[in-house]
Amino acid sequence: MSGSTPFRAGMVAIVGRPNVGKSTLVNALVGRKVTIVSNKPQTTRHRILGVVNRPDAQLVLVDTPGLHESTRRVMNQYMNRVAITSSRDADVLLFVIEAMQFTEADMWVWDRVRGLKQPLFLVINKVDRVTPKDRLLPFLDEMTRRVPASEIVPVSALASDNLDRLADVVGSRLPVAPPLFAPDVITDRDEPFQAAEIVREKLTLKLREELPYGINVQIERFAEEDGRIIINAVIWVERAGQKAIVIGQGGERLKEIGRLARIELNDLWQRSVHLELWVKVKENWADNEMALRQFGYEAL
């Protein structure tokens, strides 16, 4: 950090419809996996922070659930509240869309954030998928007209393309302030939360189209014994029929989910992890405010 350049720090809310790559963008900017990723809409359910340290700035990225019109269930209403509250509280907004697409769902999100006073950057993700590249220029021109933003930044989160420039321009609009987190902190979430999320990610990947929407992972025991981390986790579903889907024939699917989660946790923490999973039923928990609070969905 040069003596003449003031240090800047602040909260950067990342908003957009489901599946535009918000979590992939957070992980790429942080340089480590802090939030789970899948191609299933609404994989991100909580407000998760990822900290980016640069010479002149600290960007505290707020990964939010995808904003969506469907508020049929209490869980959907909760996720929208998380995203909107995080946007209002942030110093800078990143509105993420997909290259060559500006759908009705994107417009719905834009209508929710367009009146906010913070600097807003339009981030056009997945530009690596556009061929030939000159197709991108008319789209950028169109978006300049449709979405008045401080700047439009095309990126590929997956290919880590143009992310340094994004971090530079966003950092330059943050308030002059000391760092909000120590330099060795990359997320505000603890290890039990990370374990639960990684199990949920593996459920999403293995179940694919069969994945019940009302699925949740709760850590019942997290302890260190003889240099190993011992984790007991419960996978909650909403109906008895879903329990059989998660367990699979002869328990094979549940074993595979546990194996994949354990491998990733071993690698993440560089320590041996012993993981045991159970599947239990709590009827319609995703429509129950009390159950949501018990499962760690904070009231907003």
pLDDT tens for 236-290 read 888 888 899 899 999 999 999 999 999 999 998 999 999 999 999 887 666 666 7
Q: Are residues 35 and 130 in the same domain?
A: yes
* Residue 32 domain flag: yes
Tell me: do 12 and 160 sit in the same domain. Answer: yes
Average confidence (pLDDT) over 164-185: 95
Where among 171, 201, 220 does a domain terminate? 171
pLDDT score for 41: 47
**Domain assignment of residue 180, yes or no:** no
Q: Same domain, yes or no, for 65 and 167? A: yes
* Count of domains forming the chain: 2
For residues 239 and 165, membership in a common domain is answered with: no
Query: Among 25-39, 70-84, 91-105, 174-188, which stretch is predicted with the lowest mean pLDDT?
Result: 70-84
30 with 91, same domain? yes
- 82 lies in some domain: yes
Asked whether residue 82 carries a pLDDT value surpassing 90, the answer given is no
In a domain, 181, yes or no: no
Q: Which of 110, 139, 171 is the last residue of a domain?
A: 171
154 with 201, same domain: the answer is no
What pLDDT score does 90 carry? 87
Domain around 66: 8-171
pLDDT tens profile 28-51: 999 988 886 655 544 455 567 889
Does residue 121 sit in the same domain as residue 208?
Answer: no
| Same domain assignment for residues 154 and 206 | no
The answer on 166 and 198 residing in a single domain is no
DSSP secondary structure letters along the chain:
--TTSPPEEEEEEEE-STTSSHHHHHHHHHTS--S---SSTT---S-EEEEEEETTEEEEEEE-PPP-S---SHHHHHHHHHHHHHHHH-SEEEEEEETT---HHHHHHHHHHTT--S-EEEEEE-GGG-SSGGGHHHHHHHHHHHS--SEEEE-BTTTTBSHHHHHHHHHTTSPB---SS-TT--BS--HHHHHHHHHHHHHHHHHGGG--SS-EEEEEEEEEETTEEEEEEEEEESSHHHHHHHH-GGGHHHHHHHHHHHHHHHHHHTS-EEEEEEEEE-TTGGG-HHHHHHTT----
Residues 164 and 35 in one domain: yes
pTM of the model: 0.78
Domain of residue 228, CATH code:
3.30.300.20
Choosing from 103, 137, 171, the residue where a domain stops is: 171
The CATH number of whichever domain residue 129 belongs to comes to 3.40.50.300
Domain-located, residue 208 = yes
Is residue 65 located within the same domain as residue 207?
Answer: no
137 shares its domain with 251: no
